[in-house]
């Protein structure tokens, strides 16, 4: 058996045994640990083939075999001659330089047009500003790695140049890198930068904190937006909360690496009835509600999430978002701000949720909307600023 056939056999085994409740990169890591004979080159090839399969979305899922989908995915995702594809499908490899639209027409199963809905079946759920075709086609492109430079930009760029890493400077302090960049090995001082998608960085344009304002990042997760807030206004008095203690432990480590010491943290279930007891009588100038959501705007990074998703989950997330919003809004001062954020592209989690907030509170929309990352190798998000009357 050739190494190309071995790669296909390993990729097919992973796909058939993959547990969708586990992130694919974790599953791959466990698989390779169980197969220590596979070298780094083998792991890269097999991982790439597995991701190509999932990047195909639903296209041909009902009629193509797993090997056929891997071949089709490789044809669509690669732009230069591919040795593995040349072994199995030299006819496709010879045409790998065609446009994506031309490629889709060639690999579409008989009787199935390669329309966006064939790849991403939730097209009717998309927010109005999302270009369905552009979003569906973005699944075939590996998103980039983005960092937000906090200081020492010139020295940071010099280190990237010395390491031979291709990069693009975007705006004042954003750098785009190939997704495979081992940035921690190149820039060892983590106080110089934060790994943060450019769309997530863009949400900070809505914050506009004033000196010594009181803010609450109520679904703080790993704390990226809280760090962004503190960088915008270091004197902000900030409370960071999350439902999981382990997540807050990670946040505290990240804050320490960023040199941020002035903050409060607390484990909170924002859906519970005892929130007033936990928060007390505090009122905030600003609340960041980075709401739990489908994460559909980030599925270019985790394409396996698409195949395990069903439309009924969108309403489940919307109901959760309503419960959280209803509970945290009373803690906003009159004239204060709610920053509502999701990494979703679904209107029920985005525009419809904002409309629900307006109809059920004294908050009014000031600015914001869809952040389209699919043209830039970035996540797509939704962020709106509302002010309390």
**What is the per-residue pLDDT for 115?**
84
Q: How far, in Å, CA of 218 to CA of 267, rounded?
A: 10
**What is the full DSSP assignment across 235-257?**
T-EEEEEES-HHHHHHHHHHHHH
Q: Does residue 3 have a pLDDT over 80?
A: yes
Superfamily of domain 198-388: Vaccinia Virus protein VP39 (3.40.50.150)
Q: Is 217 annotated in some ligand binding site?
A: no
**What is the per-residue pLDDT for 1?**
83
Q: Does residue 26 have a pLDDT over 80?
A: yes
Please say whether the beta carbons of 374 and 345 come within 8 A. no
**What is the per-residue pLDDT for 207?**
98
Mean pLDDT, residues 41-56 taken together: 97
Give me the architecture of the 145-195 domain, per CATH: 2-Layer Sandwich (3.30)
Residues 250-261 have pLDDT tens digits of 999 999 999 999
% of the chain surpassing 90 pLDDT: 91
Residues 119-129 have pLDDT tens digits of 999 999 999 99
Q: Is 131 annotated in some ligand binding site?
A: no
Q: Where are the domains of the chain?
A: 3-114, 145-195, 198-388
**What is the per-residue pLDDT for 359?**
98
Sign (positive/negative) of CA torsion 305, 317, 246, 206?
positive
Q: Is 184 annotated in some ligand binding site?
A: no
Q: Catalytic residue numbers? A: 343
Please say whether the beta carbons of 147 and 197 come within 8 A. no
Cα–chain-centroid distance for residue 383?
14
Please give the model's pTM, rounded to 2 decimal places: 0.95
Residues 234-243 have pLDDT tens digits of 999 999 999 9
């Amino acid at each position: 058996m050739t190494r190309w056939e071995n790669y296909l056999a390993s990729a097919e085994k992973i796909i058939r045994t993959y547990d969708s409740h586990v992130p694919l990169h974790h599953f791959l890591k466990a698989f390779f640990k169980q197969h220590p004979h596979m070298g780094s080159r083998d792991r890269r090839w097999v991982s790439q083939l597995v991701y190509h399969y999932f990047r195909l979305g639903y296209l041909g899922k009902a009629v193509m075999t797993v090997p056929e989908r891997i071949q089709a995915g490789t044809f669509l995702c690669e732009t230069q001659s591919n040795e593995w594809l040349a072994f199995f499908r030299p006819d496709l490899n010879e045409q790998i330089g065609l446009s994506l639209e031309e490629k889709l027409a060639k690999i579409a199963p008989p009787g199935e047009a390669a329309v966006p809905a064939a790849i991403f079946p939730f097209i009717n759920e998309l927010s109005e500003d999302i270009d369905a075709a552009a979003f569906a086609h973005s699944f075939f492109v590996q998103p980039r790695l983005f960092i937000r430079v906090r200081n020492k930009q010139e020295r940071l760029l010099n280190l990237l140049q010395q390491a031979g890493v291709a990069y693009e400077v975007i705006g004042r302090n954003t750098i785009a890198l190939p997704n495979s960049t081992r940035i921690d090995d190149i820039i060892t001082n983590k106080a110089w930068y934060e790994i943060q998608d450019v769309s997530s960085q863009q949400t900070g344009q809505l914050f506009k904190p004033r000196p010594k304002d009181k803010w609450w990042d109520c679904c703080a997760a790993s704390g990226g937006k809280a760090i962004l807030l503190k960088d915008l206004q270091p004197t902000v008095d900030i409370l960071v909360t999350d439902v999981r203690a382990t997540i807050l432990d990670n946040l505290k480590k990240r804050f320490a690496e960023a040199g941020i010491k002035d903050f409060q943290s607390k484990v909170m279930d924002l859906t519970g009835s005892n929130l007033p007891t936990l928060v007390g009588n505090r009122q905030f100038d600003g609340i960041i509600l980075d709401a739990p959501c489908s994460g559909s705007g980030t599925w270019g990074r985790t394409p396996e999430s698409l195949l395990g998703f069903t439309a009924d989950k969108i309403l489940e997330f919307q109901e959760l978002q309503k419960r959280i919003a209803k509970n945290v809004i009373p803690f906003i001062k009159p004239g204060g701000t709610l920053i509502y954020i999701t990494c979703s592209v679904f209107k029920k989690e985005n525009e419809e949720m904002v409309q629900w907030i307006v109809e059920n509170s004294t908050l009014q929309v000031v600015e914001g909307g869809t952040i389209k990352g699919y043209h830039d190798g970035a996540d797509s998000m939704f962020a709106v600023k509302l002010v309390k009357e």
